[in-house]
Amino acid sequence: MKKILLLDDDQLVRSTLARMLAGDGHHVLIAATMPEALEICECEKPDVAVCDVMIPGTPPGSAIAALRELQPSLKILAVSACGITDRGEDMLDVAARMGANQVLEKPFGRADLAMALALTVGRPGDA
């Protein structure tokens, strides 16, 4: 079981992902905004963050960079419906460049999420 910070601005996505993660036995800490995520990260020290690449009010990928700066050892799984930034960059490429350990394109199912999370965390001694 991992302590997982879930950051996504979409309520339906947050609730669906939280159910998936909790159903797999993880302790899920939920944030809808960047300030909430940073506070949770600082206080709770999660093992992993599942983070949307686009958070309103922030440039693409900046949430990933901020979480990485606050907690350098944090494993980060970036999720995105893809798309292109205003600079013509793929969102998932931006996420990887900003420090995500793994990326996952929306929409995805429970098995895809579990596999991406396992790849993000790595082998049992790596987390």
Model confidence over 9-41: pLDDT tens digits? 999 999 999 999 999 999 999 999 999 999 999
Strand 102-105 and strand 48-52: the pairing is: unpaired
Model confidence over 39-72: pLDDT tens digits? 999 999 999 999 999 999 898 889 999 999 999 9
Give the pLDDT score at 123: 46
CATH superfamily assigned to domain 3-121:
Response regulator (3.40.50.2300)
Residue 125 has pLDDT above 70, yes or no: no
Please tell me whether residue 4 adopts helix, strand or coil conformation.
strand
Q: Please choose, from the candidates 104, 101, 35, the residue with its C-alpha nearest in 3D space to the C-alpha of residue 73.
A: 101
Q: What are the boundaries of each domain within the chain?
A: 3-121
